Chain A
Amino acid sequence: MRRVLSLFDSTVGKKAVMAVSGLILFGFVFAHMAGNLKAFEGQESFDAYAQFLRDLGYPALPEYGVLWIARIVLLLAVAVHIIAAIQLWSRSRKARGSRYRKSDSQVFSYASRTMRWGGVIVALFVVYHLLHLTTGTVHPDFEYGSVYANLVVAFQSVPVVLFYVVAVGALSLHLYHGLWSVFSTLGVQNPKIDRIRRPLAGGVAFVLFAGYVAVPLGVLSGIISL
């Protein structure tokens, strides 16, 4: 444990911690996207899938057992990821000191430049999303357990769908830069991987984006309906 904690002492170690927590979050984001697509199979199948998640591990574990373990792991990953990001961000600001009068930002990719603010947008979106479709606090007509119905009602509104598309876009950009950076941060040195890591990250980010916007757009266009 001490060794893992000592990782947090150096910038490189902090980045490794961000990379690992980021990978955990990425795994969740991908599974979540795949699960969402079940909405295209209709109400019964989707609600059954939601029930399956709640019952996962039962009876070995109490009901909601696996769900809560996953939530706690994700929460920890989010916390670590954000704490390290803030510490590194503030370091970088101090490291630059005075700013350039002129700076040519063309050498950076759009995704890398928007990593930090993009991350903030994603974080705010996640809070909204939980209040929207998990607790139902900001949902117009939330009924606990009717996952499919809640989803269809939620995405009737065009502004809500637009917001989702923008947020998912920010998430995909964030993951594009994050995913291909992971290899470097964790010191993966394999020329074969090096060659494909950018297109790989781009492809995965695109699949995520497409998979995530498919559901709200499906609702808006009436393919997914009650």
Chain B
Amino acid sequence: MNLTLHVWRQSGPRDEGRFETFKPEGITESMSFLDMLDLVNEEITVDGGEPIAFEHDCREGICGSCGMVVNGVAHGPEKLVTACQLHMRSFSDGDEIWVEPWRASAFPVMRDLVVDRSSFDRIIQAGGYVSIRTGSAQDANAIPVPKPNADRAFDAAACIGCGACVAACPNASAMLFTSAKAAHLSYLPQGQTERLERAVGMVAIHDEEGFGNCTNHGACQEVCPKGISVDYISRLNRDLLKANLTGVEPGD
């Protein structure tokens, strides 16, 4: 396949950044998008240049490391896949492809396509956990959980923290991520005790980190590789409003 690739290059957080154009050779349809970038990087290294920095780990769509905006869409044109699971057969010969990092002030670009997503960790630290001693694993059906709730909790827990929701949101809001991380606990009995203070704590840090507000566009749900539903946002809103109106503070 012959492609024209425009990749965002930025040497560090303070660099302004610019696009660099590549015309890689030897790309085949069965390559993944990251394989293709590897190939480009080999060429760059042979020519003595700096390879394109991008994050990756599992390359099977489960770790959430990889992520880039391909032709204006987070994780590229295919639905329900991460960039590592996107294949070149989704493009046609002669295509021009623009590759950019996630753009959000809460995700500063470290280098090329690599962004710092530690703001997500801080949202989790603000309440995305259950503070009880767990001991050894319980008997599986010691605590009954209604099947629909178990399913909803499980669907929410599928979030891999990739950040595509933020990248796609016109407000750079992280409400899809935050709400999924709250919901996988709030649907389960173990998550009830801290439910409201969790909502207050996580939303407060979400805002503090500089993410925008949700305006119900639904762009996050469109690009989310795990199909997380915006319904979770509504659930988090409800918990937060309840907490506000009953005077629950974070850490109560």
A-side residues, CB < 8 A to B, are 3, 6-7, 9-16, 88, 91-92, 94-104, 107-109, 112-113, 115, 177, 180-181, 183-189, 194
Known: A95-B104, A100-B69. A187 touches B170 (CB 8 A): no
Do B234 and A189 touch (CB < 8 A)? yes
| Chain A proximity of B241: nearest CB distance (Å) | 6
Do A184 and B213 touch (CB < 8 A)? no
Main secondary structure of the interface of A (DSSP, over half): helix
Q: Which bracket fits the contact residues of B?
A: 35 or more
| Chain A proximity of B7: nearest CB distance (Å) | 11
Known: A10-B203, A97-B104, A101-B98. A185 touches B72 (CB 8 A): no
Do B172 and A10 touch (CB < 8 A)? no
CA distance A112 to B169 in the complex (A): 12
Q: Which of B104, B216, B219 lies in contact with A107, CB distance below 8 A?
A: B219
Cβ of A189: which chain B residues have Cβ within 8 Å of it?
231, 234-235, 238
Do B218 and A107 touch (CB < 8 A)? yes
0/1 string, B143-177, CB within 8 A of A gives 1: 00000000000000000000000001011110000
Cβ of B222: which chain A residues have Cβ within 8 Å of it?
107
Do A185 and B105 touch (CB < 8 A)? no
Do B215 and A184 touch (CB < 8 A)? no
8 Å CB interface, B52-99 against A: 69, 71-73, 98
Cβ of A112: which chain B residues have Cβ within 8 Å of it?
215-218
Q: Which of B103, B210, B235 lies in contact with A94, CB distance below 8 A?
A: B210
| Chain B proximity of A195: nearest CB distance (Å) | 12
8 Å CB interface, B200-252 against A: 200, 203-204, 206-207, 210-219, 222-223, 230-231, 233-242, 244-245, 247
Main secondary structure of the interface of B (DSSP, over half): mixed
Do A100 and B231 touch (CB < 8 A)? no
Do B71 and A95 touch (CB < 8 A)? no
Known: A96-B105, A100-B103. A181 touches B215 (CB 8 A): yes
Do A12 and B241 touch (CB < 8 A)? yes
Any A CB within 8 A of the CB of B22: no
Q: Which of A7, A16, A95, A189 has the most CB of B within 10 A?
A: A95
7 contacts between A and B (CB under 8 A): A92-B173, A95-B172, A104-B71, A107-B218, A108-B217, A115-B215, A188-B238
Do B100 and A194 touch (CB < 8 A)? no
CA distance A101 to B239 in the complex (A): 37
Do B173 and A95 touch (CB < 8 A)? yes
Do A100 and B72 touch (CB < 8 A)? yes
Do A103 and B104 touch (CB < 8 A)? no
| Chain B proximity of A174: nearest CB distance (Å) | 12
Q: Which residue of A lies closest to B238 (CB)?
A: A187
Q: Which of A7, A92, A98, A194 lies in contact with B213, CB distance below 8 A?
A: A92
Do A101 and B172 touch (CB < 8 A)? no
Q: Which of A9, A102, A194 has the most CB of B within 10 A?
A: A102
| Chain A proximity of B74: nearest CB distance (Å) | 9
Cβ of B103: which chain A residues have Cβ within 8 Å of it?
96-100
Do A91 and B213 touch (CB < 8 A)? yes
Cβ of A183: which chain B residues have Cβ within 8 Å of it?
234
Q: Which of B71, B73, B170, B236 lies in contact with A96, CB distance below 8 A?
A: B170
Q: Which of B8, B171, B235 has the most CB of A within 10 A?
A: B171
Do A13 and B172 touch (CB < 8 A)? no
Q: Which residue of B lies closest to A184 (CB)?
A: B234
Known: A11-B214, A97-B104, A104-B71. A186 touches B207 (CB 8 A): no
| Chain B proximity of A27: nearest CB distance (Å) | 20
CA distance A113 to B215 in the complex (A): 10
| Chain B proximity of A71: nearest CB distance (Å) | 28
CA distance A11 to B233 in the complex (A): 12
Known: A96-B104, A104-B72, A187-B235. A15 touches B214 (CB 8 A): yes
| Chain A proximity of B45: nearest CB distance (Å) | 25
Do B212 and A11 touch (CB < 8 A)? yes
